[in-house]
Chains A and B, each alone.
Chain A
Amino acid sequence: MTLQEERHVLVVYPHPDDEAFSVAGTLRLYHNMGVPVTYACLTLGEMGRNLGNPPFATRESLPEIRRKELIAACEAMGIEDLRMMGLRDKTVEFEDDEKMIKLVTDLIVELNPSLIFTFLPGFAVHPDHEATGRAVVEAVRRIDKKYRPRILACAFANDTVEKNGEPDVTIDISSVKEDKLKALKAHISQTGWMLQETAKRVDEGEVLSDSWLNTEKFYNVVFND
């Protein structure tokens, strides 16, 4: 599909690299259209497991490595407004729920986005993804429906299609696949093994292959009021 003009695009994900996998190409397309994009990244992925063997990092040096990778990835995606929100990896769901909703509400009030990208609650696998998606959906639900920004949500739980059907929105990013690849490679501490895992899953017949570099798929979050 062709992207429509947006006033401002807000992206809310918990980990450096969430954006590269799910929405990097789409964000690059918006940037190329001149649409302002803000990325609120809640943590620095401090608890990432991949340290290499022999190790290239320690538990304590990893956050700074991932902070630099995040900045480089944003350059590849053309994101000029990166907000690092200072939470700790794997603790997002244990933060106060109202604090999380306020974090999102404050961003919406400041930026007045017409479109928000986040994870789809219930189908986002990682507890931080779930907590992030929940906070975004609740913050938007509380806005008068006349003024609500649209939410496009990423989902990849194994039962996603079974429970939700195919994604509502498929964005062709083939024209910017090199930029997406650059964003993925910027997160090199993470993407090394993940790309291997992906290759393995494709070998096992679970297709997730061409989606990464040619299309990005999202569900609309619909409110029943």
Chain B
Amino acid sequence: MKEVNTNELQELLNSFANKDVFIHLETTNGSYATHYNENFFNAGAFIRNVQLRYELGKVVGDAPHRVGLKMPHGWVYAQGITHFELDDQGRLLMAGIDNTGKLAIALEISESPFAY
């Protein structure tokens, strides 16, 4: 993955619009967050291989970026996206990686299902 180039990422988001795609969306503080700091309220969410179709996808803002997908009846968005790549299977992988190298958020879009 490389750092977000908004023009390039916007073109990739456009390329998946109006197609049936599979989504991976994940936010995480890590399972050890409360172990290291007992006052930390640990929350996160994870969905994988949920199929949807979006009509408009946008990347907005300075780094870290926000990416939103508008669907006919709803929304998907991810805040904190720093890196992206179109991988060797044609999947758009986006991630927000903090300054210690840990993933904090991931949003991925693929025309075929992700592995298990």
Contact = CB atoms under 8 A, between A and B. Distances in A.
Given A59-B24, A60-B87, A51 B101 contact: yes
Given A49-B103, A51-B101, A52-B101, A58 B46 contact: no
Interface string B1-27: 110000000000000000000001010
B115 A55 contact: no
A54 B101 CA distance: 7
B108 A126 contact: no
A49 B38 contact: no
Nearest to B98: A53
A82 B91 CA distance: 31
Instruction: Among A52, A59, A158, find the residue whose CB has the most chain B CB atoms closer than 10 A.
Output: A59
Contacts of A55: 1, 83, 95, 97, 101
B71 interface: no
A125 B24 contact: no
Contacts of A167: none
A49 B28 contact: yes
Interface in B80-116: 82-83, 85, 87, 91, 93, 95, 97-104, 106, 108, 114-116
Interface string A110-149: 0000000000000001111000000000000000000000
A59 B31 contact: no
B35 interface: yes
B51 to A, nearest CB: 17
Nearest to A197: B36
Contacts of A47: 26, 28, 46
Contacts, number: 70
Given A49-B28, A59-B95, A126-B31, A193 B100 contact: yes
A84 B3 CA distance: 34
Contacts of B26: 47, 59
B53 to A, nearest CB: 21
A67 interface: no
Contacts of B46: 47, 90
Nearest to A156: B35
A49 B26 CA distance: 11
A50 interface: yes
Contacts of A193: 100-102
B87 A58 contact: yes
A67 B116 CA distance: 15
Nearest to B114: A60
Nearest to B97: A53
A59 B115 CA distance: 11
A52 B97 CA distance: 8
Nearest to A58: B93
B32 interface: yes
Contacts of A59: 24, 26, 93, 95, 103, 106, 108
Which of B31, B85, B116 counts the most chain A CB atoms within 10 A? B31
Interface of A: 47, 49-55, 58-61, 63, 86, 88, 90, 125-128, 157-158, 193, 197
Interface of B: 1-2, 24, 26, 28, 30-32, 35-36, 38, 46, 82-83, 85, 87, 91, 93, 95, 97-104, 106, 108, 114-116
